[in-house]
Chains A and B, each alone.
Chain A
Amino acid sequence: MSEKISRRDFLRLASVGAATTAVLTGCGPASRYVQREPYARMPEYTYNGLSTYYATTCRECAAGCGLIVRTMQGRALKVEGNPNHPVNRGKTCPRGQVTLQGLYNPNRVRGPLQHARGEALYDANFQDAQPNLDWEAAIRVVADALEETAGVAFLMGTASDHLFDLVSDLANAAGASAPIRFSAGSMFETRATLSQATENLFGRAGLPYFDIANSDLVLSFGANFLETWLSPVAYNFAFGKMRRGNPQRRGHFIQFEPRMSQTGSKADDWFPIVPGTEGMVAAAIGRLVAEAKGEPLPRAFASVDLEAVTSASGVKLEALAQIAQLVISAFAPIAIPGGPSLGMSNGLATAEAVLSLNALVDNFGKPGGVFLSPLSPNQDPDGYHRPASAQEMADFIDRMKSGEIKTLFIHGVNPIFELPKSLGFAEALANVGTVISFATFPDETAVASDYVFPDHHGLEAWGYQRIATGAMQSVLSGLQPVVSPFQDTRATADVFIAAAQLTGGEPARALPFNDEVAYIQSKLANLVGQADGSFNAPEINSFSAYFQQHGGWWKNSAEEVAVDAASALGRELMASQAQFAGAGEFFFVPFVAPTLAEAGANKPWLQELPDPMTTVMWNTWVEMNPETAHELGIDNDDVVKIISEAGEVEAPVYLYPAIRPDTIAMPFGQGHTAYGRYAQGRGTNPADIFGLLFNEAGDLTFAGMKVKVEKTGRKQPLSRLESRIGVYGEGMGEEGH
């Protein structure tokens, strides 16, 4: 019995044994580290099941990047880039990453509802309004509206294209006016101007693709291609290649702009030129290049007066000559027009001058040069459907005012926020009989509508997106639901199909589909069996399955679009100084907030990303040169009033060292009066003070204003990553920036 060991003794002996072992082996080198195990295993160390990954397309902007979304147990957990997608090659921008905070946003439209115009879609505690209709009633409302086809109008955003196609077919069959598309993004990108200039010079409308990846000298005339411009992930990827892709040479980057943008901050040479002289500078460089090459001066650059350019733009002649030398010695120089420089009275001439510079170095269709973007695979031959310019929106608003529009369907765009206030969209709604919004989120336009029939979030939706620009080859990007809908939403395409069938007649014949998936398949049918595709399948069902799996369909090789550079150079250029509206002392440069863009304000993590240049979070600011501010007695965080011909707006000042002393700048993206708890009542909207001047291509001259600045005497500390001085109220002034 003496051998009887109690449980307690056993444990004691066992631990002694373990300790002895430790002592014995403790002489080895391994013991220098103490092997510590966490008390409890944290999730980082355990397996929690397997994830499922779905390919789809990002709907945060019109670029159409491919995504792979990680899901588990029916929830989307993480957005990643699709490595095979020709636009973004596995990469994402912050807006793509944070798209999940839209999906799971605490403020979404929960189901179909009818309400009095102007009535908020959530209460003071941000609790969403309850749906008060069922979808059958909603479809009945849409069907009734479609009966009176003459008075029906469709206003749509830039994503997604399958719905635009479906609504186009429907409008066509019903005899209604064709749908019109708009987004503030495309307004700030000046798509109309760029497309018009391309058509004027090369006979084909569309957005060119600039192959900076293979270029060794990039001249950018205000293009903010590393921020939100056209296809930011594609251009960021290309920028990395331009700098580090070739071990033999590092690409040189020169930026001309009055206010250093995030893009400009990456430039090797930054020229703060007078706003509106970008085209003149481009033409002057063209003339100097042609002269130095000893070629006969092309007509495009023949009339350039170098003296006038240097005095107007503030760029010295030696600097221009130096740049011309760089262009001549470069292997693949490229010039990019874009952004605020085209949003001016002379924007079209500026775009033409910059494109002519490319024609002069004859880089069209060559590596490191300009490519005319190929049409997307299932695009109709009429070509690129660009979003409406501000001028076309003004015409549309006139139609609304005249009472001609009885029912207005609005999808994928928030015009009350995105359009300049002076266009009077909100007021014009009063003359529209019925306004039906398909908003996913409770935005300003949904509040001003009679009915809200919410569409799915982009990650709950089917669809396809044509790539207007951002890749060398022809691309059709595919969307599929990665989760089942979280709210009682319904695909707008399904609503229209059901309503058309309820209406009968031509609309029903135009949309003989069970649902939108059948419609999408009908639009993919002509791709089955096409050569040079990223995949192929013998029939449509397998094709659709692959289309979902791969996140789209694209050509394997770049498409050549021939360009006659010589004839482009034969046109006379009209590059001259821009005209500015208003009598203020400051040029005004509005720009799209790089992290928020036009629809990011309701995603809290986008709000908390510091602006790359100012590091400001959660608010709007006004950028002013520190010298100017000092003269005016203005300091960081002083709230100023900016007065234009069209209105006034207030925001705190950020002393910004890299802006012309005669220029102020302000980001677009905040200033919501609805749009959920994270957006509402935060910052101000510079679009409230835009005037109503358009350039020759119909784009708004949003950068063509002069404004006054007045002190208000108030202070509002900005939340900045770089400094806590403002909120602690000390050390203001010199070290403030």
Chain B
Amino acid sequence: MSNLNIDLNRVGAKGALAEEADGKWGMVIDQDVCTGCQACVAACAMENNIPFVMEEDAAYGRTLHWIRIERFWEGEYPEVRTTPYQPMLCQQCGSAPCEPVCPVFASVHSQAQELNLQVYNRCIGTRYCANNCPYQVRTFNWRDYAIEPFHANDFDGQLVFPLHNQFNPDVTVRRRGIMEKCTFCIQRIHKAEDKAKSEGRAVEDGEFTTACAQACPTNAITFGLLDDSESLVSQLANHKHGYRHLEEMNTLPRITYLQEG
């Protein structure tokens, strides 16, 4: 075993080796151009069947935003400003703190895409993963929001939910007691991979993008192949303004942020 040459700093939980920081899919978010408009938040919700939770549950912090835009106040009037808008979503860590704590392997690492998966039909709702996520990006279904009778119309005693017409058939509809988070639009990744496979080629950078990057009016979000040195995302990831959140925790986040300036 000695010839395996294991770097102990990179050994993740359960003895699994953490992957290289440069994995497959990655994202760069440019905070200099993010205007905080929430188009990504809306697009994500529309793509991924994310339910809304209404005012009271939202007040208790139970919203299911997979991506949220953080802004903080800095200074005192009149020298006051907001910190640059910071879209925060699952960082798809290479060494993810959410993974080792899941007792039922619902939070697992995908070898194929090198992403953090959430397997809904394994999840039993312990919420250990959310507690252990330093980015606070995991959201929990406290209720069956989508089938709350308030959203239904009553047709002769039969409840009809017109908003369900919009459900994306490529994405699981989650029930109560399930943890969920950003998937990097894995259904789009799979579509592109299957298409490429059927055409006998590899997936190309720019062939598809995530819902948030697609909607972003200022092009603040760039998604693509990190291990393709020609790709825009891999070049931006090495930008001089680039930094990664909580990098010191050795989570190997897959998302690079670009500072203002």
Contacts and interface: CB of A to CB of B under 8 A. Distances in A.
A605 B111 contact: no
A657 B77 CA distance: 6
Interface string A72-95: 100111111100000010111110
Contacts of A75: 165-166
Given A97-B215, A101-B166, A240-B218, A265 B36 contact: yes
A595 B214 CA distance: 18
Nearest to B120: A42
Contacts of B144: none
Contact of B121 (A40, A270, A604): A40
B170 A617 contact: no
B56 interface: yes
A498 to B, nearest CB: 28
Contacts of A724: 59-61
Contacts of A43: 169-172, 187
Nearest to A724: B61
A244 B33 contact: yes
Contact of B69 (A78, A81, A266, A610): A610
A174 B211 CA distance: 49
Given A33-B111, A657-B77, A719-B56, A233 B45 contact: no
Given A75-B165, A609-B41, A81 B215 contact: yes
Contact of B151 (A106, A250, A717): A106
A657 B59 contact: no
B21 interface: no
Contacts, number: 238
Interface in B119-174: 119-122, 150-154, 161-172
Contact of A44 (B30, B56, B171): B171
Nearest to A128: B153
A618 B62 CA distance: 14
Interface string A18-44: 000000000000001111101110111
Nearest to B84: A266
Interface string B49-68: 00011111011110101001
Interface in A579-627: 594-595, 604-610, 612-613, 615, 617-619, 625-627
A272 B76 CA distance: 13
Interface string B20-39: 00000000001011011111
Contacts of A250: 32, 261
Nearest to A238: B218
A727 interface: yes
Contact of A226 (B37, B81, B150, B186): B37
B37, B47, B63, B154 — which one has the most chain A CB atoms within 10 A of its CB?
Answer: B37
Contacts of B214: 80-81, 90
Contacts of B38: 94, 594-595, 609-610, 612
Interface string A682-717: 100000000000000000000000000000000001
B80 interface: yes
B168 A77 contact: yes
A92 B39 contact: yes
A240 B71 contact: no
A521 interface: no
B176 interface: no
A677 B217 CA distance: 30
B37 A594 contact: yes
Nearest to A32: B17
Interface string B76-87: 111011100100
B16 A32 contact: yes
Interface in B216-231: 216-220
A721 interface: yes
B194 interface: yes
A344 to B, nearest CB: 21
29 contacts: A33-B16, A39-B121, A43-B171, A44-B171, A77-B168, A78-B211, A80-B214, A91-B219, A94-B42, A96-B39, A104-B163, A106-B153, A128-B153, A236-B217, A237-B218, A244-B219, A262-B35, A265-B36, A594-B37, A606-B42, A608-B63, A610-B68, A610-B69, A613-B71, A625-B77, A657-B80, A721-B68, A727-B59, A728-B60
What are the nearest 4 A-B pairs in CB distance? Answer: A240-B218, A236-B217, A618-B55, A719-B59
